């Protein structure tokens, strides 16, 4: 081969190629050692162990980056939870709500902090729902009619109980009970009573001009000495009274309320009867508008 026939450009290309190969593979069979201390892996071109004469490629092992860490206060300082640690003592690990502290939450493999979930906020759990205790509703008003009264007249002309007297009393009696959260008494159980009416007649026929003569419970006396008859009860008297008015008068009097309305009674009113009677006028000169009334609670 004649040297004067060699193309200088071809020589330059060969030299350049040799320089590139020398930079890519400085030492054959001697793998480079990473200087950053990480655990890099040395593999061959096909992913197998390096063989003599094969080029080597250095593939760094990726280092996981923790997504979050438990907040750990430094020794001798106040942490985010307000607790202060003593210098020289082990740093306390915060406890997450719903879990417990462990060494695994602060150290993982290779001395790196382990990956943990972000701490849950305090009071994360919902407060219990307080259900208010319902208040029992009061009984409702009922409707109905009473059995009625005979409208008797005494031997000396005193007028007795009318059906209107009885119905007026029954309506107001139950209205008062319901307004005070007491169960009403069935209208059929609010009844005229002839025995109490007999005693009211006895009082109205006293010949004295004093309306209060003979007035009162069993044991009172008439001005003419006639012995008492009939049955006792809660009493009410006066001018322009109706059945409804005397029902209110009895409620307004503590003693009569206890006797006739029985506010503390908790049983059924199905077997409760309220007896009632009223007279109009008296001798010798009491007008019809002057009334005497009696009522009592019985079992029927």
CATH of the domain at 202: 3.40.33
**Which residues make Cβ contacts (< 8 Å) with residue 173, sequence separation at least 6?**
185, 190, 247, 261, 274
- The answer as to whether 277 is a domain residue is yes
- The answer as to whether 208 is a domain residue is yes
Tell me: pLDDT of 281 over 80: yes
Tell me: pLDDT of 182 over 50: yes
Q: According to DSSP H, which parts of the chain are helical?
A: 8-24, 163-179, 194-204, 243-252, 254-260
Please report which confidence band the pLDDT of residue 35 belongs to, taking 50, 70 and 90 as the band edges: very low
Please report which confidence band the pLDDT of residue 105 belongs to, taking 50, 70 and 90 as the band edges: very low
Residue 299 and residue 51: Cα distance in Å, rounded? 115
Strand partners, 238: 291
The lowest-confidence range among 21-25, 74-78, 241-245 is 74-78
- The whole-angstrom distance between residue 243's C-alpha and the CA centroid of its chain comes to 44
- The answer as to whether 46 is a domain residue is no
- The answer as to whether 193 is a domain residue is yes
Residue pointed to by tokens 């009491």 = 286
pLDDT at residue 14 in the model: 59
Quote the strand ranges of 63-181, DSSP E: none
Please report which confidence band the pLDDT of residue 156 belongs to, taking 50, 70 and 90 as the band edges: very high
- The answer as to whether 79 is a domain residue is no
- The answer as to whether 255 is a domain residue is yes
Give the domain range for residue 170. Answer: 163-218+227-299
- The answer as to whether 91 is a domain residue is no
Average pLDDT for 5-28? 56
- The answer as to whether 233 is a domain residue is yes
pLDDT at residue 103 in the model: 40
Strand partners, 273: 298
Q: Is the pTM value of this prediction over 0.95?
A: no
The lowest-confidence range among 47-56, 140-149, 189-198 is 47-56
Domains: count for the chain: 1
Residue 212 and residue 204: Cα distance in Å, rounded? 10
Please report which confidence band the pLDDT of residue 26 belongs to, taking 50, 70 and 90 as the band edges: very low
């Amino acid at each position: 081969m004649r040297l004067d026939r060699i193309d200088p450009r071809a020589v330059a290309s060969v030299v350049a190629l040799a320089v590139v190969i020398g930079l890519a593979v400085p030492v054959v069979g001697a793998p480079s050692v990473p200087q950053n201390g990480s655990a890099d892996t040395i593999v061959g071109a096909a992913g197998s162990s390096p063989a003599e004469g094969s080029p080597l490629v250095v593939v760094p092992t990726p280092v996981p980056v923790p997504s979050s860490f438990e907040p750990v206060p430094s020794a001798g300082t106040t942490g985010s939870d307000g607790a202060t640690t003593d210098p020289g003592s082990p740093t306390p690990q915060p406890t997450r709500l719903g879990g417990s502290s462990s060494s695994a939450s602060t150290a993982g493999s290779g001395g790196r902090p382990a990956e943990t979930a972000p701490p849950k906020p305090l009071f994360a759990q919902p407060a219990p729902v307080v259900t208010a205790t319902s208040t029992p509703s009061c009984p409702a008003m009922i409707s109905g009619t009473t059995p009625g009264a005979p409208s008797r007249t005494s031997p000396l002309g005193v007028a007795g109980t009318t059906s209107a007297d009885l119905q007026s009393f029954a309506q107001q009696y139950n209205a008062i009970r319901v307004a005070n959260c007491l169960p009403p008494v069935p209208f059929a159980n609010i009844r005229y009573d002839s025995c109490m009416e007999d005693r009211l007649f006895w009082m109205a026929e006293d010949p004295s001009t004093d309306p209060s003569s003979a007035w009162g419970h069993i044991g009172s006396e008439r001005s003419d000495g006639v012995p008492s008859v009939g049955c006792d009860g809660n009493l009410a008297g006066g001018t322009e009274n109706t059945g409804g008015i005397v029902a209110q008068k009895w409620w307004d009097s503590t003693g009569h309320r206890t006797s006739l309305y029985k506010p503390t009674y908790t049983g059924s009113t199905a077997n409760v009867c309220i007896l009632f009677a009223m007279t109009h006028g008296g001798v010798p000169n009491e007008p019809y508008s002057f009334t005497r009334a009696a009522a009592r609670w019985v079992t029927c």
